[in-house]
């Protein structure tokens, strides 16, 4: 892709200001296409002699909505595009003035307004598309969570209650000798207590909050509530912990608790290690168990709550990786970026 000479330094400065735009080939190509289209609109705006600075009867044009959707897909916040637009206006205005041959104060003002309109008319559509994409992700994640909870209630809680009641019914119907009756009732009580524990764990997980804690401290607190009888969970932290923005911390906590819940369901007899590694720009959390593992080529990505976990990770701009193999345990890695965006 050959970039015209006047535009090259502008794109270089934008890439330096917003590396995520320059480093991603798809985003870099989109940036070039949008910048050239903006400048073409600005020239048209100037030639037509329009005086308004930010107007347009197609603020929600399909091509602009598509750009916003692309940014949302790659978790590029609209603020990054706005910063790029400021750089474009600041850097290209002198070039644009020369291109249109503006000399008088009125022409200079019209040139500034034309460039401004060509650039900024894109952002309503981009912001709308970005917000809509995030709304859809939130909806999907919430629906997946509800389905996951319903499945747990049916498969774990209801099954445990039914098994306990069946043992009680067996004792009542067969009227066995006292020692056998006692054993049956104790087994029933064990089943019902386990079902009660599952309900309590679900309630704790649903109400889990980071609050004023750091993410590692919040996870340790909720882990103690969810799995009080096991010593197989260890949580360690390396580097200098820092406060994540609340909305990002809450979603990260939900993802990590889901990973630990999966360990409890499928590998509770094995040890599990949670390691936080803090850096200036991100916190990396690994949840690594020594359980039976599973074949990732056989089990669907939606299994073990992975679908919901991936949706939530995408919402906060985090990276989620799940690695497992039969007999080799399971490792979940979550990389959560720092910063407000």
Band (11; pLDDT cuts 50, 70, 90): confident
pLDDT at residue 294, rounded to an integer: 83
Confidence of residue 59 (pLDDT cuts 50, 70, 90): low
> What is the rounded average pLDDT for all residues in the chain?
78
Q: Round to the nearest angstrom and report the end-to-end CA distance of the chain.
A: 30
**Which two structure tokens, joined as six digits, stand for 263?**
């360990």
The number of angstroms, rounded, from the C-alpha of 133 to the middle of its chain's C-alpha atoms is: 12
- For the domain spanning 210-341, the CATH number is 3.30.565.10
Contact by Cβ (8 Å): 324, 316: no
Tokens (6 digits) for 30:
């989109």
pLDDT the model gives residue 52: 52
Report how far residue 121's alpha carbon sits from residue 118's, in angstroms, rounded to the nearest whole number: 6
**pLDDT: is 141 or 268 the higher one?**
268
**pLDDT tens digit sequence for 173-196:** 888 888 888 888 888 888 787 777
Two tokens at 51?
């005086």
Strand 272-278's sheet: what is its strand order? 233-238, 272-278, 282-289, 330-337, 319-324
Q: 210: exposed, middle or buried (C-beta count within 10 Å: 0-12, 13-18, 19+)?
A: buried
Nearest C-alpha neighbor of 257 from the set 287, 288, 230: 287
Contact 88, 36 (CB under 8 A): no
Q: What is the mean pLDDT of residues 73-101?
A: 77
DSSP 8-state assignment for residue 339 = S
The total of other beta-carbon atoms located within 10 Å of residue 310's CB is 21
3-state secondary structure of 294: coil
Q: What is the pLDDT of residue 335?
A: 95
Asked whether residue 238 carries a pLDDT value surpassing 80, the answer given is yes
Q: Which residue has the higher pLDDT, 208 or 120?
A: 120
Domain spans of the chain, in order of start? 8-121, 143-207, 210-341
Average pLDDT over residues 123-129: 70
293, 324 contact by CB (below 8 A): yes
Sign of CA dihedral 190, 196, 201, 204: negative
With a cut of 70, say whether residue 44 has pLDDT above it.
Answer: yes
* DSSP secondary structure string for all residues of 282-332: EEEEEEEE-S----TTTS-TTGGGHHHHHHHHHHTT-EEEEEE-TTS-EEE
Q: pTM above the 0.95 mark?
A: no
* Structure-token pair, residue 96: 């644009």
Which one, of 87, 94, 88, lies nearest residue 108 by Cα? 94
Residue 257 · residue 282 · CB < 8 Å = no
Tell me the mean pLDDT in the region 109-118: 86
Q: How many CB atoms lie within 10 A of CB 161?
A: 17
pLDDT for res 269: 87
Q: Among candidates 3, 138, 122, which has minimal Cα distance to 71?
A: 122
204 has a pLDDT exceeding 70:
no
Higher-pLDDT residue of 319 and 23 is 319
Question: Which has the higher per-residue pLDDT, 172 or 64?
Answer: 172
Q: Work out the average pLDDT over 52-61.
A: 49
In whole angstroms, what is the distance from residue 325 CA to residue 202 CA?
28
- CA–CA gap between residue 236 and residue 273 (Å, rounded): 8
């Amino acid at each position: 892709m050959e970039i015209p000479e006047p535009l090259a330094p502008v794109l270089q400065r934008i890439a330096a200001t917003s590396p995520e735009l320059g480093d991603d080939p798809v985003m870099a190509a989109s940036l070039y296409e949008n910048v050239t289209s903006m400048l073409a609109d600005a020239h048209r705006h100037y030639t037509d002699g329009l005086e308004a600075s930010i107007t347009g009867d197609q603020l929600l044009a399909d091509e602009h909505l598509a750009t916003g959707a692309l940014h949302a897909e790659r978790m590029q916040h609209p603020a990054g595009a706005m910063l790029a637009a400021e750089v474009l206006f600041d850097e290209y205005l002198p070039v644009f003035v020369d291109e249109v041959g503006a000399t008088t104060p009125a022409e200079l003002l019209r040139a500034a307004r034309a460039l401004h309109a060509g650039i900024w008319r894109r952002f309503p559509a981009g912001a709308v598309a970005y917000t809509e994409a995030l709304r859809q992700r939130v909806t999907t994640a919430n629906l997946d969570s509800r389905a996951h909870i319903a499945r747990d209630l049916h498969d774990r809680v209801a099954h445990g209650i039914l098994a306990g009641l069946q043992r009680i019914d067996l004792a009542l119907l067969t009227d066995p000798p006292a020692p056998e009756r006692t054993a049956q009732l104790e087994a029933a009580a064990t089943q019902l207590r386990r079902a009660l524990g599952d309900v309590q764990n679900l309630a704790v997980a649903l109400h889990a909050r980071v609050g004023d804690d750091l993410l590692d401290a919040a996870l340790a607190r909720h882990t103690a509530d969810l799995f009080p009888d096991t010593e197989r969970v260890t949580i360690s932290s390396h580097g200098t912990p820092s406060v994540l923005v609340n909305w990002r911390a809450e979603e990260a906590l939900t993802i990590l608790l889901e990973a630990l819940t999966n360990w409890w369901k499928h590998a509770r007899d094995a040890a599990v290690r949670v390691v936080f590694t803090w850096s200036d720009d991100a916190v990396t959390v690994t949840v690594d168990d020594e359980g039976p593992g599973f074949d990732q080529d056989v089990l669907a990505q939606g299994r073990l709550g992975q679908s919901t976990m991936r949706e939530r990770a995408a919402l906060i701009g985090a990276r989620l990786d799940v690695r497992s193999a039969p007999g080799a345990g399971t490792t979940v890695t979550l990389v959560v970026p720092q910063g407000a965006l």
